[in-house]
Amino acid sequence: MAEASNSDIGGEKHTFKIRRLEISDKRKGYMELLGQLTVTGSVTDEDFDRRFEEISSYGDDHVICVIEDEWTGKIAATGSVMIEKKFLRNCGKVGHIEDVVVDSEFRGKHLGKKVVEFLSDHSRSMGCYKVILDCGVEKKVFYEKCGLTNKGIQMSKYFD
Amino acid sequence: MAEASNSDIGGEKHTFKIRRLEISDKRKGYMELLGQLTVTGSVTDEDFDRRFEEISSYGDDHVICVIEDEWTGKIAATGSVMIEKKFLRNCGKVGHIEDVVVDSEFRGKHLGKKVVEFLSDHSRSMGCYKVILDCGVEKKVFYEKCGLTNKGIQMSKYFD
């Protein structure tokens, strides 16, 4: 568990720790945080545990990072990366960053950047030649500050 | 192995079969086909076999599709999909489509569309709520014909 940063928020000294998701984080507001990004639905403890185990079975190939606010014991930010193994580029690997979100209470503290750096560093250590992610155009400037550049568009198809 | 389509090309009757990648496809021009998409580097038979086994170990969670031209025994088109397991959207899943390419000799035969449909159908059968992919803006019309729509942009960061 590495120290991410310290901040004064509302006169309180917050210490942020960045680490991988733990199964106990479901009681630290992890799903509520994801709810600030999109629909989470009704995930039971059993659903959560099963999905946690499924993702954990991929080891370093699918990592979810969280930043915990040690003052409140709440998850303040998160993001994930999935390592794709390819044949091209000398059997290269690519890190796919997904679901980056910072709790609205903690925005402007560079926690999002720390999450992206954590996931990017992990991808690099796994031998990836690049990391990629999709976002709305309004997030472009944020990701540029994280060292990424715009390259192409995202296409999607939703099933019923 | 499902029949994909039949076409007359240069006066020859071609029969295209769509199926998953097999280890023997390295002798059917699979890497040369990827080379029409981007740099492939120098992948030895041993590298290929190792990467094939790594990807195969993910079972239905990472599928590479190919279309074989039975007339010449060459791989005419390919694409891959990786299934991401999330917590959000009721522990939903997303199919990430990658590395779609059609041999220049066979373009205009709707093989690309068949690859995207195969990967999309697979994702749906795996319980995904959507499929996504990144492409250059010049490919937007092609993917719209495949039923996808533009939603956002891709950001990337290349390591040294």
Please give the backbone phi and psi of residue B153, each rounded to the nearest 5 degrees, phi first.
-125, 160
**Domain count of chain B?**
1
Q: What is the ipTM of this complex?
A: 0.93
Per-residue pLDDT reduced to its tens digit, A30-73: 999 999 999 999 999 999 999 999 999 999 999 999 999 999 99
Contact between B87 and B70 (Cβ < 8 Å): no
Is there a contact between A151 and B155 if contact means CB atoms under 8 Å apart? yes
Mean pLDDT of B106-134: 97
Residue A138 exposure: Cα atoms within 13 Å on the Cβ side: 0
Answer yes or no: is A64 within a domain.
Answer: yes
Q: What is the pLDDT of residue B14?
A: 83
Contact between B38 and A92 (Cβ < 8 Å): no
Question: In this structure, are strands A74-85 and A62-69 parallel, antiparallel, or unpaired?
Answer: antiparallel
- B71-98 burial, b at 16+ Cβ within 10 Å, e below that, comes to eeebbbbbbbbbbbbbbbbebbbbbbbb
User: Which residues, other chains included, contact A160 with Cβ-Cβ below 8 Å and sequence gap of 6+?
Assistant: none
Q: What is the pLDDT of residue B127?
A: 98
Q: What is the pLDDT of residue A155?
A: 98
Domain that holds residue A15: 2-145
Of B34, B46, B137, B156, which to mutate for an interface test with A (greatest number of A Cβ within 10 Å)? B156
Contact between A70 and A26 (Cβ < 8 Å): no
How many angstroms separate the Cα of A148 from the Cα of each of A42, A53, A67, B41? 34, 31, 21, 24
CATH number of the domain bearing residue A98? 3.40.630.30
* pLDDT(B4) > 70: no
Pairs across A and B, CB distance < 8 A: 201
Answer yes or no: is B96 within a domain.
Answer: yes
The ranges of chain A with pLDDT < 70 are 1-5, 7-12
Is there a contact between A98 and B86 if contact means CB atoms under 8 Å apart? yes
Segments in chain B forming alpha helices (H): 30-34, 45-56, 88-91, 111-125, 140-145
Answer yes or no: is B150 within a domain.
Answer: no
3-class DSSP state of B103: coil
Answer yes or no: is A79 within a domain.
Answer: yes
Is there a contact between B86 and A96 if contact means CB atoms under 8 Å apart? no
How many angstroms separate the Cα of A127 from the Cα of each of A98, A124, B65? 19, 5, 25
Answer yes or no: is A84 within a domain.
Answer: yes
Mean pLDDT of chain B: 94
Answer yes or no: is B62 within a domain.
Answer: yes
Is there a contact between B124 and A34 if contact means CB atoms under 8 Å apart? no
Answer yes or no: is A139 within a domain.
Answer: yes
Mean pLDDT of B138-147: 97
Q: Show the tokens assigned to A40.
A: 């989470």
Answer yes or no: is B127 within a domain.
Answer: yes
Angle at B44 between CA B62 and CA B36, to 5 degrees: 65
Contact between A100 and A133 (Cβ < 8 Å): yes
Is there a contact between B143 and A155 if contact means CB atoms under 8 Å apart? yes
Per-residue pLDDT reduced to its tens digit, B15-30: 999 999 999 999 999 9
Per-residue pLDDT reduced to its tens digit, B39-70: 999 999 999 999 999 999 999 999 999 999 99
**Residue that is written with structure tokens 């079969």 in the block:** B17
Q: What is the pLDDT of residue B11?
A: 62
Question: Which of B88, B99, B155 is opposite residue A88, by nearest beta carbon?
Answer: B99
Q: What is the pLDDT of residue B13?
A: 76
Q: What is the pLDDT of residue B150?
A: 98
Q: What is the pLDDT of residue A22?
A: 98
